[in-house]
Amino acid sequence: MLQIQSDYTKYLCEVSSLIAKIKFKTTKIKELKNEIERAELLVPVVGSFSAGKSTLINSFLGKNILATKITPETALATELRYSKEEYIEAVREDGSYDRYTLDDNDVIKDRASEYMHLRLYFKSEKLKKIEPLILVDMPGFDSPVQLHNQAILNYLNLGVYFVVLTSIEDGGISKSMMRELENIIEYGKGFSFCLSKTNLRPLEQVQEVAKRMQEQLEDEFDFNADIILVDDNGGENLKKILQSIDPEELFNKLFSSRLKTLFFQIESSINVHISTLKHSKEEAQEAMNELQDSIDKIKKKKQSMLDELESKYSSQGVESIISAVSSELRNHKESLIDLALSNKDTFSNEVNEIVKNRLIYEIKNKLNSISANIIDDFSLELKSISSNLEEFSLDTQWVEKMTEEVTSLVKSVQEGLGKLSEWTSGKKGQIYKTITTILGLTTAILTPVLEVVLVFLPEIFGAFQKQKARNDISNKFETEIIPSLSANIRTVLPNILNEQLNKLIETVSAKFEEQLKSKEEEIASAMEEKEKNINEVEEQIKTFEEVKHSLQKLTTQTLYNRGEI
């Protein structure tokens, strides 16, 4: 276990002990503690089909555990985990899986279309030593389009750091690779870049290619780290890359803000109890009525947002996304025409990548903007009533803190950092689960749109083949192909985007309602306890104050005084 894991689990144990003194529930604390203890950090190894990803991982392990002679059509993302017992789990889209032995590769290949990814459990001390890092052998960029889309969207969200390979045989960084790097950077993930199969070329040529690639990376991404040269025995190189990754920093990024949010929630609850104990029953009842009125206002606001959803968000979002995709295709018109006249498969892959990358960027940023507007609208609704509840520690600052909490959760899920335990409490669990799909950009919006594009590609290719003059093809591209492709995207995007934004509003509303309801229950609970022990009020207040002080001290030491990890 990492030091930071140990510190955070110890912190949560001490928090549980502290709040047990004031009879607070510890369920959420136990869930978060369990998640921290079991957390994994996925490190995908990405590149083209023949870049040498499996060879590199096998070299690192010191054994040919990953099949290297497989076809792109059967390639599945494979997560490698340490286990004393060796076996493979082939995981379906719904989370169910079939279990195989390590010798069942042929059976798995025959059934590859049934599965989303593989989990390979292998008794290797090298895998054990790098825990909680988990290596992922990814399908190549030139795997079948649908398979690659599925894998890259999933692991862009889940991966915390990427090892990127380009073969010396490519001579430079391909357009496909540059686009995947754009996606990795768009998701805020770090990466190391490797030039593989360097044993196939003279050293002078290797250095020349590496220099050219270094310049490409610096020009496009301000990437200044050295390119790592890898031959057919590059296990030591991969070991050094993994050792350079700071899992402590990644853990801090994953859990620090959530632990601080937990502290805020507990401190807020303590403040509400203390304030309630200092007020009369009538004043407490008035505060609870005010909270109930606030819940009603949030519900009305939610309904108003849902009624205005299409006109305010959805329709504008659809048109701006389609316009951006169309512009991107126009920017690549000449190269697409060249491909359409020469290679159907390469042309299809290129169109898919152009559309996919623009969709990732546009949808991600559109959801960022819309979610921020939705949260702000709800927050403003609450600020208008918070002044009436200041005496119960429910003031504007509390609303701002609550808003920050919801914003932080949305942002963390957007970046693939969020976990379901933050969102699966109470009856709204299913809605909370949905938002991880929406904001993680796994498949909810992108896949149906890309499927429409893939269906339309043969029609585009056929249209080009019927033309002989390049000028005629260019005109057809502008007047028929792009409008038709846009029209096809428009058949699915509005309903999908509308549905997901609907769920986003429902989810954010539910989070605010949940917070208000919890405060109403806390006031009721504190007042009930006060009436039962009317002669011990001062002692109760003293206990709450002591627990709050100890909690503040513990949190400052653990979460705020760690320095830069």
pLDDT at 343: 73
Confidence at residue 558, expressed as pLDDT on a 0 to 100 scale: 94
- Which residue bears the tokens 């559309």? 355
Tokens representing 262 are 């937990």
Residue ranges making up the domain that contains 527: 279-532
* Listed residues 245, 270, 301: the one ending a domain: 245
- The verdict on 198 and 318 lying in the same domain is no
Q: Per-residue DSSP letters for 85-110?
A: S-EEEEE-TTS-EEEE-TT-HHHHHH
498 class by beta-carbon count within 10 Å (0-12 exposed, 13-18 middle, 19+ buried): middle
* 530: alpha, beta or left? (left if phi > 0; alpha if psi -120 to 50): alpha
Residue 297 is assigned to a structural domain of this protein: yes
Q: What residues form DSSP beta bridges with 12?
A: none
Domain co-membership, 203 together with 333: no
CA–CA separation, 280 and 260 (whole Å):
32
Q: Degrees (nearest 5) of the Cα angle 43, 44, 47?
A: 145
For residue 29, tell me if it sits in a domain.
Answer: no
Counting the structural domains of the chain, the total is 2
Report if residue 204 sits inside a domain.
yes
Are residues 218 and 79 part of one domain?
Answer: yes
Q: Are residues 241 and 370 in the same domain?
A: no
What tens-digit pLDDT sequence spans the chain (565 residues)? Answer: 889 999 999 999 999 999 999 989 898 899 999 999 988 899 999 988 788 898 999 999 999 888 755 555 557 889 999 999 999 999 988 889 999 999 888 888 888 888 888 999 999 999 999 999 999 998 876 555 565 566 777 788 788 999 999 999 988 898 888 988 988 888 788 999 999 999 999 999 999 999 999 999 999 999 989 999 999 888 999 999 999 999 999 888 889 988 998 999 999 999 999 999 999 999 999 999 989 998 998 999 999 999 988 888 888 888 899 999 999 999 988 888 888 777 777 777 788 888 888 888 888 788 788 888 888 988 888 877 666 688 888 888 888 888 888 887 666 655 544 432 333 333 333 433 433 443 444 345 666 777 777 777 777 767 666 666 778 778 888 888 888 888 888 888 888 888 878 878 888 888 889 889 999 999 999 999 888 888 889 999 999 999 999 999 999 999 988 654 3
Which of 199, 226, 245 terminates a domain? The answer is 245
- The predicted pLDDT at position 430 comes to 40
Domain boundary among 245, 268, 296: 245
Does some domain include residue 544? no
Rg value, the chain, Cα: 27
Q: 230 and 343 share a domain?
A: no
Strand order of the sheet with strand 161-167? 97-100, 87-91, 117-122, 77-82, 133-137, 41-47, 161-167, 190-196, 228-229
User: 465 with 362, same domain?
Assistant: yes
470 and 331 housed in the same domain: yes
Does residue 563 lie within any of the structural domains?
no
**Per the structure block, which two tokens stand in for 541?**
């207040």
Residue 315 within a domain: yes
Q: Can you tell me which residue has the tokens 């979610």?
A: 371
210 vs 236: CA distance, rounded Å? 19
Say which CATH number the domain at 80 has. Answer: 3.40.50.300
Per-residue three-class SS string for 333-376: HHHHHHHHCCCHHHHHHHHHHHHHHHHHHHHHHHHHHHHHHHHH
Q: DSSP readout, 282-331?
A: HHHHHHHHHHHHHHHHHHHHHHHHHHHHIIIIIHHHHHHHHHHHHHHHHH
Tell me, yes or no, whether 288 and 208 share the same domain: no
Classify residue 66: in a domain, yes or no: yes
**Phi and psi angles of residue 356, each rounded to the nearest 5 degrees, phi first:** -60, -45
Q: Tell me, yes or no, whether 214 lies in a domain.
A: yes
Place of tokens 């057809």: 476
Query: pTM, whole model, 2 decimals?
Result: 0.80
Type of residue at 3: Q
Is there a single domain that holds both residue 380 and residue 503? yes
**Within this chain, do residues 105 and 149 fall inside the same structural domain, yes or no?**
yes
Q: For residues 106 and 89, give the distance between their C-alpha atoms in angstroms, rounded to a whole number.
A: 14
> Are residue 385 and residue 456 in the same domain, yes or no?
yes
Domain check: are 369 and 504 in the same one?
yes
